[in-house]
């Protein structure tokens, strides 16, 4: 974008107009007078020299030589191109200043002290790159044998003048991760071709020693004569010539090919149509009962064919999900309510699935955009199944004329399926669907905790001991002898794990037996039983093998 | 916020589909390390189609010569002007290879001169931090292709934003494996891909 030069933008914000142009002349000063501009375009432009007097706007190719001249002294006369000063010299009876235009817009200001000023806008002309159209070969080609000669033809055009034009070729050899390349050029423009030319050459494939699998990439390239800001380079679209590999028809990476089944369906459907059309033609000449009987016979054949189509569809998408890759719209069930997930379908269920798969928002299926080949193949088959169902009903009802339209639809759908089988979408890469939830460690657990009960404050063994101690105390109040027995048994049980408790119990037993106050001893025993775990120095004796 | 979908560019010349597992691998990494809402599978989008304008990041690779059609150039120009980021990786890993020679020529016609991207650029710290610039690939370290370790990536800028990022490092080979096999790596070599996506979505 052009900006006002700082020297002229005195307001500093680019908003103020330039003062002084044509301004008042100081008393005694020499007026600037008329400014004559001589424009000498660069050689590549091929234009004549122009002379202009006091121009306000000049359009020039980059590299043009501009000469400004005027009357009066050079001393005190200044010239600027944007912010850059340009020398002003004496020339004859006046002054002269010269500069070369660039590729950007510029503002030229000529002024004289007290003598006024002139402004001149310079607008660059654009030198377009050559336009190149490759006429031959007209399209990409696959050749069985790497021999012969290919005629090359291209039209080249430039707005000013062509300098050169050639055909470029690149031969790429190899596969997988190993490729080698050779390149070269062919043909040449005749000298003095001007602005338009026809480029011709021939490419000998024998000379390139091509091997099966090699690809020749061809294009035409032209350069213009711009030696200032160029040269401008133009090129045609590329064409490729590939040498077929002997095994390439075996290496096409498609699913195991059902084409024979589809071909069989296609033939049968066409025959059914022929039979129905013949029946419709002669229906006026024969009895109604005969028409109905023949129509039902065709209807039975139509039903068998529909069964074949449904088998093909089942074999592809009614498989219960083997293979693991599912795509939106491929017929695989992604919801439990989807009928296709429930295993083998009744004809009615399959028909509903066909309706669902073949009609989107009430409009026929479109097999473009980002659909996978699986969808591209299955949807037409589902559509064919749907149409065959309609045709069969009409035939069974003895109305062959009504059956024909859906039969045509079925035939067209099968043809589309067949085309989808044949056309392996080169470059449809293996589609890996990332299980985002698994990657993000988001399992099926919804994250809500189950009900939990509070933990026991002490271990169960200790709780049992305390319960037994409590029971022994109760026993002491009712039957002191029985209570003492309970304490003795308890002491024995805790002697090894809780020796302090055992000692306290021993004291309590002795006190009860001596009819002394056993309260302190029993209190110590409770504390000891309720205390933390006691570590022992030795492992307990192993008694499992007595 | 809309879902990010990884898009691989389909161009008319060359073998654009030479690294088919890269999208899944990077999608896996994005899911693994970030909370970006990402589509579980990538898409293939023709460069000559306006559909390319729907995606913020386009991935382009191949081994063979690249010559954009006029339509492809037009769409790519619009894509870059609208703020898209095109990531181009030389699957040949060979500066003498025709992919490098042709695609850089084509890119410079559309996007301007490719210059070295400083290894301190925010791209290298947009998510993971790569102190030494672009991580090397096993293909470089094993001396395949041009037998060079490329210390820089190249870029064509739009202002201070990367419009085209060009790599000679052969990330297409480095990342072209099924994401389930990532568990065999002590250090995930696709982490730089996360930086790339995060940069494309945030700058």
Q: Which of B24, B43, B97 sits opposite A434 (nearest CB)?
A: B24
How many domains are contained in chain A? 4
Is there a contact between B41 and A434 if contact means CB atoms under 8 Å apart? yes
Residues A115 and A140 in one domain: no
Q: What is the percent of chain B where pLDDT is above 90? A: 76
A411 and A264 share one domain: yes
Q: What is the pLDDT of residue B194?
A: 96
Task: Please report, for the domain that includes residue A202, its CATH number.
Answer: 2.60.40.10
Determine the pLDDT at residue A27: 55
Nearest CA in chain B to A217: B65
**DSSP per residue over A487-537, as a string?**
HHHHHHHHTTT-HHHHHHHHHHHHHHHTT---HHHHHHHHHHHHS-----S
Q: What is the pLDDT of residues A302-337, one digit of tens each?
A: 888 888 887 777 665 544 433 333 333 333 333 333
User: Does residue A205 share a domain with residue A63?
Assistant: no
| B139 to chain A: closest CA residue | A177
Domain of A53, CATH number, reads 2.60.40
A431–B65: do the CB atoms touch at under 8 Å? no
Same domain, A237 and A270: no
Interface test with B, best of A373, A432, A437, A442 (most B CBs within 10 A): A432
b (16+ CB within 10 A) / e for A61-96: bbbbebbbbbebebebbbbbbbeeebebeeeeeebb
Residues A278 and A301 in one domain: yes
Q: Are residues A264 and A410 in the same domain?
A: yes
Asked if residue A430 is part of any domain, the answer here is no
In chain B, which residues have their Cβ closer than 8 Å to the Cβ of A217?
Answer: 13, 64-65, 67, 98
Instruction: Give pLDDT, residue A449.
Output: 63
Residue among B139, B170, B201 at smallest CA distance from B62: B170
Distances in Å between the Cα of A200 and the Cα atoms of A133, A156, A167, A205, A209 are 12, 11, 9, 16, 22
Enumerate the residues of chain A whose CB falls inside 8 A of the CB of residue B92. 179
Mean pLDDT, to the nearest integer, of A41-64?
88
B64 and chain A in contact, CB less than 8 A = yes
Residue A225 shares a structural domain with residue A314: no
**A253: contact with B, CB 8 A cutoff:** no
Residue that is last in its domain, among A124, A148, A170: A124
Domain assignment present for A403? yes
- As a whole number of angstroms, the distance between CA B178 and CA A69 comes to 75
Long-range CB contacts (within 8 A, 24+) of A248-255: A248/A213, A252/A424, A253/A424, A254/A373, A254/A421, A254/A424, A255/A374
Q: Nearest 5°: phi and psi at A372? A: -85, 165
Inside any domain, residue A139 = yes
Question: Is residue A68 in a domain?
Answer: yes
Q: Residue A187: which of A160, A148, A231, A218 has the closest Cα?
A: A218
Query: What number of other Cβ atoms are within 10 A of residue A412's Cβ?
Result: 15
Within-domain flag for A17:
no
What is the C-alpha separation between B105 and B115, in angstroms, rounded? 13
Residue of A nearest to B12 (CA): A238
Say what the ipTM of the complex is. Answer: 0.83
- pLDDT digits 0-9 by tens, B84-96: 999 999 998 888 8
Separation CA A90–CA A95 (nearest Å): 5
Determine, for residues A436 and B40 on separate chains, whether the beta-carbon distance falls below 8 Å: yes
What is the domain range of residue A344? 259-422
Are A264 and A378 within one domain? yes
Residue with the two structure tokens 């691989």: B8
Residue A135, judged by CB atoms within 10 A of its CB (0-12, 13-18, 19+), counts as middle
Based on the fold, state whether residues A407 and A263 are members of the same structural domain. Answer: yes
Judged by CB atoms closer than 8 Å, whether chains meet at B44 and A440 is answered as no
Contact A127, A45 (CB under 8 A): yes
- Whether residues A158 and A113 share a domain: the answer is no
Report how far apart, in Å, the C-alpha atoms of A454 and of each of A164, A170, A457, A531 are. Answer: 91, 79, 9, 21
Selection from A241, A237, A191, A236 nearest residue A214 by Cα: A241
Residues of B in contact with A235 (CB under 8 A): 67
Query: Does residue A205 share a domain with residue A78?
Result: no
Strand partners, B156: B164
Sign of CA dihedral A363, A367, A373, A377: positive
Note whether residue A405 is domain-resident: yes
Instruction: Tell me, yes or no, whether A268 and A370 share the same domain.
Output: yes
> Does domain B7-202 match CATH 3.40.50.720?
no
CB A116 within 8 A of CB A20: yes
From the CA of A138, how many Å to the nearest CA of chain B?
A: 14
Residue in B32, B40, B92 nearest the CB of A179: B92
> In this structure, is residue A252 part of a structural domain?
no
pLDDT in tens, chain B (203 residues): 589 999 999 998 878 888 999 999 999 999 999 999 999 999 999 999 999 999 999 999 999 889 998 899 999 999 999 999 999 999 988 888 889 999 999 999 999 999 999 999 999 999 999 999 999 998 888 877 778 889 999 999 999 999 999 999 999 999 999 998 888 888 899 999 999 999 999 98
């Amino acid at each position: 974008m052009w900006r006002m030069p700082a020297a002229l933008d005195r307001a500093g914000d680019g908003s103020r107009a330039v003062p002084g142009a044509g301004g008042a002349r100081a008393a005694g000063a020499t007026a600037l007078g008329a400014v004559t501009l001589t424009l000498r375009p660069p050689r590549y432009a091929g234009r004549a020299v122009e002379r202009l007097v006091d121009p306000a706007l000049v359009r020039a190719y980059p590299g043009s030589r501009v000469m400004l001249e005027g009357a009066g002294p050079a001393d005190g006369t200044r010239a600027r191109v944007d912010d850059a000063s340009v020398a002003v010299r004496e020339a004859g009876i006046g002054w002269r200043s010269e500069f070369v235009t660039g590729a950007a817009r510029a503002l030229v200001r000529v002024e004289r002290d007290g003598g006024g000023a002139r402004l001149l806008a310079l607008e660059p002309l654009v030198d377009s790159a050559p336009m190149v159209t490759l006429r031959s070969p007209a399209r990409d080609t696959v050749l069985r044998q790497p021999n012969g000669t290919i005629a090359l033809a291209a039209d080249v055009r430039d707005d000013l003048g062509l300098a050169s034009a050639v055909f470029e070729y690149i031969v790429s050899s190899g596969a997988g991760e190993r490729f080698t390349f050779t390149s070269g050029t062919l043909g040449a423009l005749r000298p003095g071709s001007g602005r338009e030319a026809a480029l011709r050459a021939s490419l000998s494939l024998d000379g390139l020693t091509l091997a099966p699998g090699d690809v020749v990439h061809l294009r035409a390239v032209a350069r213009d004569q711009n030696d200032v800001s160029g040269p401008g380079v133009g090129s045609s679209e590329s064409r490729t010539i590939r040498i077929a590999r002997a095994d390439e028809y075996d290496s096409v990476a498609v699913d195991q090919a059902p084409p024979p089944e589809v071909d069989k369906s296609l033939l049968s459907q066409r025959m059914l149509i022929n039979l129905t059309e013949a029946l419709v033609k002669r229906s006026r000449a024969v009895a109604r009962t005969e028409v109905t009987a023949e129509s039902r016979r065709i209807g039975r054949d139509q039903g068998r064919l529909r069964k074949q189509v449904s088998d093909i569809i089942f074999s592809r998408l009614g498989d219960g999900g083997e293979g693991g890759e599912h795509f939106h719209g491929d017929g695989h069930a992604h919801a439990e309510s989807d009928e296709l997930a429930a295993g083998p379908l009744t004809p009615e269920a399959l028909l509903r699935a066909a309706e669902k798969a073949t009609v989107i928002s009430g409009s026929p299926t479109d097999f473009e955009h980002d659909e996978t080949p699986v969808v591209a193949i299955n949807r037409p088959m589902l559509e064919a199944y749907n149409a065959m169902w309609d045709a069969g009903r009409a035939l069974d009802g003895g109305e062959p004329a009504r059956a024909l339209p859906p039969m045509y639809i079925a035939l067209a759908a099968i043809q589309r399926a067949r085309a989808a089988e044949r056309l392996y979408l080169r470059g449809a890469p293996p589609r890996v669907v990332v299980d985002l939830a698994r990657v993000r460690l988001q399992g099926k657990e919804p994250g809500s905790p189950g009900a939990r009960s509070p933990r026991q404050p002490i271990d169960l063994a200790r709780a049992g001991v305390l319960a037994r101690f409590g029971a022994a105390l109760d026993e002491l109040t009712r039957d002191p002898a029985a209570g003492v027995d309970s304490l003795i048994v308890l002491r024995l049980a805790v002697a090894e794990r809780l020796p302090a408790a055992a000692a306290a119990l021993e004291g309590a037993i002795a006190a009860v037996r001596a009819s002394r106050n056993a309260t302190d001893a029993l209190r110590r025993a409770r504390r000891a039983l309720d205390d933390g775990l006691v570590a022992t120095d030795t492992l307990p004796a192993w008694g499992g093998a007595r | 916020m809309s879902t990010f979908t990884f898009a691989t560019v389909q161009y008319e010349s060359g073998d654009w589909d030479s690294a088919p597992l890269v999208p899944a691998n990077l999608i896996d990494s994005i899911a693994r390390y970030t909370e970006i809402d990402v589509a579980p599978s990538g898409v293939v989008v023709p460069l000559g189609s306006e559909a390319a304008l729907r995606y913020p990041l386009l991935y382009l690779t191949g081994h063979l010569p690249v010559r954009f059609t006029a339509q492809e150039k037009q769409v790519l120009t619009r894509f870059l002007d609208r703020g898209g980021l095109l990531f181009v990786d030389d699957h040949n890993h060979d500066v003498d290879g025709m992919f490098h020679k042709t695609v850089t020529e084509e890119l410079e016609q559309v996007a301007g001169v490719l210059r070295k991207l400083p290894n301190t650029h925010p791209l290298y710290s947009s998510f993971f931090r790569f102190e030494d610039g672009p991580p090397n690939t096993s293909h470089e370290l094993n001396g395949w292709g041009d037998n060079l370790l490329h210390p820089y990536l190249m870029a064509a800028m739009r202002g201070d934003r990367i419009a085209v990022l060009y790599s000679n490092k052969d990330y297409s080979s480095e990342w072209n494996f099924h994401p389930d096999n990532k568990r065999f790596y002590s250090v995930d070599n696709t982490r730089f891909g996360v930086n790339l996506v995060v940069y494309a979505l945030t700058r």
